Amino acid sequence: MSDEIFQSYGIHRWSQGMFAQLDNGDLGLVNPARPDAPPASLPDLLHNLDARGIHTPVLVRVGAFLRRQLEALNASFAKAIAANDYQGTYRGVFPIKVNQQAEVIDRIVEYGRPFQFGLEAGSKPELILALSRDLPKGALLICNGIKDPEFIRLGILARKAGINCVLVIESPGEADTVIAEARRLGEMPALGVRIKLTRRVTGNWADSSGDRSTFGLTTKEVVDLVDKLRDAEMLDCLVLQHAHLGSQVPQVIDIRQAVDEACRFYTELRRLGVPLQYLDLGGGLGIDYTGEARASENSINYTMDEYCANIVETVKYQMDEAEVPHPTLVTESGRAIVAYSSMLLSDILEASYFDRSAPITPEEDDHHMLSDMAAIVSYLTPRRVQECLNDAEYYREELRALFRRGVIGIEEVARAEQIFLYVIGRIKDLVAQTPDVPAEVREELSAHRDIYRANFSLFQSLPDVWAIDQLVPIAPLQRLNETPGRRAVLSDITCDSDGKIDHFVLGDGIGNALPVHELQPGTRYFIGIFLVGAYQETLGDLHNLFGDTNIVTVDFNEDGVLELQSEVEGDTVAEVMAYVEYEPKQCLDAFKRIVERGVREGALNPAQRRMLMQTYRDALSGYTYYEHEEQEHA
């Protein structure tokens, strides 16, 4: 079977082998433990969930993919450590902010147990949830962020309970609070210092690195901190040096240079007598969202193995030069661990086909420009394509202007629109059969794309796509053995012009339209939006009051069968109303009074009143997304 269509979505490039096509054209999940077994069909999964009353849009988390990534990171470090005869070990931590959901954190703790994998908390609430997770002995709990005395007390006292909490000092003032709290409690903390590297990395998050980073101590402040801790007889507490390399760093050379600089700080601090043992390099390990394997904002020019090898080699070289014992390496990789394991699956509710228009003849009294536009097809030849396109657009603009000035009426504009779409359709057909059409014509025509309306909210489920133009791979979940004949942009169901996706990861780069199949009446057309496990789940907002989607966690069982392991129901309308300070019961009562007035005034009969109130009640307790009629009665 040819996998040309599968490849046209670039799935073979970005999926790292975790997705594959089934013989029937479905997209499926590959079991990492049995890569040769038939993949588990995603449309089948959605039909099964539907039958259980769990409807689209649904965020699907795949436990096996999370485990795969966590194990891969530890294996890559172990390989680099062995290859370089590095004397230290690797102790990763997962930064909770990247995905705080309990199900995800619990799995990370469970899968990470053999590697003594820990957590990173960037705030007091994150620390509080991390403290409740029973981390394995030896695992680190790194505390970043601005800390109040209560946060610091928790971090100091938790050590007494066997939790390896390290308080990373982020500002000069924080050191004073730490010293005061330690004295008050009569207990010694484990401390880290966050240094500000001067090297800037490239990419979308460049500002979180280098001098412009708002976090960390300047070199002078680091030296002052050492003196302060020495004076307080607490220098022995300073065991960790933290430097956040950045996030989604596109180039491996940036990583090497930043690690190099971090090592200079480390060896110098050791020279000053600081008993550092841990070198924490923060985040930065990127994801190849586009699969292009190049240094760009949505791609990376290195593999996980290369990332680890670069770190280990650089640290070893620098430490050996300075005759400093090899530190325990710590990274706070977030997206590399969780991005692959979550995907948003939804369905297309309807399509507006751009060029779906039958030829029509203008009416006798119509403005002559309608006939002029209709006549374009009579001189449409491969050599005159550009001219025909210009003419069609010119007539359309002129006719719209005539409408605005009150010269022609709405029916005439409607006919003009239909003629325009017909002409463009004919031009597109000709261009499809003509190889040497100028690129500009193709580009111009590609602006005339279908609109496929999908059941999700960009603002709730893909905030980075809206806010920072993050690219995430998108593909249909079925009919991958059938050439997709249409090109579409995806629009969500918020009534906001920003709620659309018009840049897509494709097999040959980035395109402004997604190849899609024509919808078949009565058959649902599912799409998947992939690699959304990092940062998207909690950053989303309630734009248009679309709430959290349904979430399921699935995993392969011992027999290799995909099974549903847990389910979190998405928000109901009543829940999102409460978030924005409406009391659903009060709304119901208020609406009841309005409806009753209608009955009194004779506008509604009692049966209509009953049906209206019942519909309101049902909607309050229902899903915030588009519900298909048959689902509502399921």
- State the residues that interact with ligand PLP by CB under 6 A: 95, 98, 120, 144, 208, 244, 247-248, 282-285, 332-336, 534
CB–CB of 345/526 below 8 Å?
A: yes
- Minimum Å distance from CB 121 to ligand PLP? 10
Strands 342-352 and 58-62: antiparallel
Beta carbon nearer to ligand PLP, 92 or 499: 92
Q: Is the dihedral of CA 426, 432, 435, 439 positive or negative?
A: positive
Beta carbon nearer to ligand PLP, 54 or 300: 300
Q: How many CB atoms lie within 10 A of CB 235?
A: 18
- Minimum Å distance from CB 280 to ligand PLP? 9
Phi, psi of 242 (to 5 degrees): -115, 135
- Minimum Å distance from CB 331 to ligand PLP? 8
Residue 28, SS3? strand
Question: Hey, which residues does 623 pair with through a beta bridge?
Answer: 572
Beta carbon nearer to ligand PLP, 66 or 336: 336
Give the residue from 79, 460, 96, 139 showing the smallest Cα distance to 305. Answer: 79
Q: Residues 361, 362, 363, 368: what is their CA dihedral angle, to the nearest 10 degrees?
A: -140
Beta carbon nearer to ligand PLP, 201 or 408: 201
CB–CB of 577/584 below 8 Å?
A: yes
Question: Hey, which residues does 450 pair with through a beta bridge?
Answer: 488
- Minimum Å distance from CB 459 to ligand PLP? 21
Nearest 5 degrees, angle CA 275-CA 281-CA 286? Answer: 170
Strands 450-454 and 58-62: unpaired
Question: Hey, which residues does 95 pair with through a beta bridge?
Answer: 120
- Minimum Å distance from CB 100 to ligand PLP? 13
How far is Cα 111 from Cα 101, in angstroms, rounded to an integer?
16
- Minimum Å distance from CB 34 to ligand PLP? 29
Beta carbon nearer to ligand PLP, 98 or 477: 98
Beta carbon nearer to ligand PLP, 18 or 339: 339
- Minimum Å distance from CB 336 to ligand PLP? 6
Give the residue from 17, 212, 51, 61 showing the smallest Cα distance to 565. Answer: 61
- Minimum Å distance from CB 218 to ligand PLP? 17
- Minimum Å distance from CB 374 to ligand PLP? 56
Name the residue number minimizing CB distance to ligand PLP: 283
Beta carbon nearer to ligand PLP, 201 or 552: 201
CB–CB of 25/482 below 8 Å?
A: yes
Question: Which helix (H) or strand (E) element contains residue 441?
Answer: helix 439-446
- Minimum Å distance from CB 226 to ligand PLP? 22
CA 396: distance to chain centroid? 39
Alpha helices for 158-271 (secondary structure H): 172-185, 219-231, 252-271
Phi, psi of 568 (to 5 degrees): -120, 120
Specify whether the backbone of 293 is left (phi greater than 0), alpha (psi in -120 to 50) or beta: left
How far is Cα 263 from Cα 361, in angstroms, rounded to an integer?
76
- Minimum Å distance from CB 206 to ligand PLP? 12
Beta carbon nearer to ligand PLP, 170 or 391: 170
Beta carbon nearer to ligand PLP, 373 or 534: 534
Beta carbon nearer to ligand PLP, 248 or 455: 248
CB–CB of 620/582 below 8 Å?
A: no
Q: Is the dihedral of CA 25, 28, 32, 38 positive or negative?
A: negative
- Minimum Å distance from CB 59 to ligand PLP? 19
Beta carbon nearer to ligand PLP, 144 or 341: 144
Beta carbon nearer to ligand PLP, 380 or 534: 534
Half-sphere exposure of 89 (CA within 13 A, CB side): 8
Nearest 5 degrees, angle CA 561-CA 567-CA 572? Answer: 150
